[in-house]
Amino acid sequence: MEVYLDNSATTRVSEKVKNIIIKTMTEDFGNPSSLHMKGVEAERYVKEAREIIAGNLKVKDKEIIFTSCGTESNNLALIGMAMANKRQGNHIITTSIEHASVSNTMKYLKEQGFDITYLKVDKEGHIDLNELREAINDSTIIVSVMYVNNEIGAVEPVREIGKIIKEKNPKTIFHADAIQAFGKYKIYPKKLNIDALSVSGHKIHGPKGIGFLYVSEGIKIKPVIIGGGQQNGMRSGTDNVPGIAGLGAAVKETYENFDEKIKRMYRLKDYFTDNIMSLENVQVNSKKGELSAPHIVSVSFIGVRSEVMLHALEERGIYVSSGSACSSNRHGGSATLESIGLSREALDSTLRFSFSDNTTKEELDYTIDAIKELLPRLRVYVRKK
């Protein structure tokens, strides 16, 4: 049996998405900048995908910029907005648990002379709203907070964050990395005071190599890719029509029967969490229910290194992660797990299980049984060593 529980890293492309990608690669393969009918056909896919995405966010079509991935979306948002607004101020606020595509971009911006404030989080991964309020000042140009943490599933209070930002300094831009949130929540940026929102396609059964950035009309932002002036000059380069068409199809499919799919995912998450919590010396780092995202469960198997458990599960056909896929090769451990106060022993033994709407109870039962069998054996092996 094969069980894929690494959906926060990437998801399987759906059948509808696969079909539209093939069609735009083999039949409607024109360059959307071309004036002939092949170009017009390709442009129609781009226009339709933009309409689908904008419709789900309840924003204007022209506020959607297609990118190559979530990382580019975050880079374009942060670097583009920082450079465009530096005359207004040089202060940026973020958190200690951001994805590398934000945290490393912040390091770059610091090198460019920007002043970066990092908000701490509590043991559940949530920022202190009072600390945020006190940190915002007249020179604060951007606040960037991830909607859902990619390692433990903590959901930040984005509505309250947006309200505080606009009350304290209406000119401050609120950017949210929604790469793990989009497709799991109904997100309406205008109601949440979110000015810029980053999303990646391959987290929602779309293809790799495509993402988008929502930027509210009127927000000043500079492009970081210069060239032929596509997408109103905001992101030059030939449009990735198969990726864009696939992303549009994935968004449409994701939000069909949405409430039913999310409720089911929460039931599976709680079922899995309850079973795992019953095991000896096992620590669950994600909250149950709607206090956390519906698809992420972080677990520390005390006494067994995460890589050992990961490969033992892999031998049973179960695929999980030891953390963020984009940061799995870096040294120094997880900034998120360190920020929520995990012990060194727990840090070294943490795995992430992440679900999709295709995950079944049978797959979770198989995984739970495998963990129950493997855990005592691996602990005995460690003690003997």
- From residue 188, alpha-carbon distances to 60, 63, 158 in Å are 12, 13, 11
Please give, one letter per residue, the 3-state secondary structure of 235-276.
Answer: CCCCCCHHHHHHHHHHHHHHCCCHHHHHHHHHHHHHHHHHHH
SS3 label, residue 232: helix
Closest by alpha carbon to 240, among 46, 20, 26?
46
- From residue 221, alpha-carbon distances to 104, 196, 367 in Å are 19, 10, 46
Angle between helices 100-111 and 70-84 (to 10 degrees): 30
Measure the CA angle with vertex 106, ends 103 and 109; round to 5°: 160
What's the rounded Cα separation, in Å, for the pair 18 and 7?
17
Is 69 known to be catalytic? Answer: no
Measure the CA angle with vertex 299, ends 298 and 302; round to 5°: 150
Catalytic residue among 326, 347, 366, 368: 326
What's the rounded Cα separation, in Å, for the pair 349 and 283?
10
Residues belonging to the active site:
326
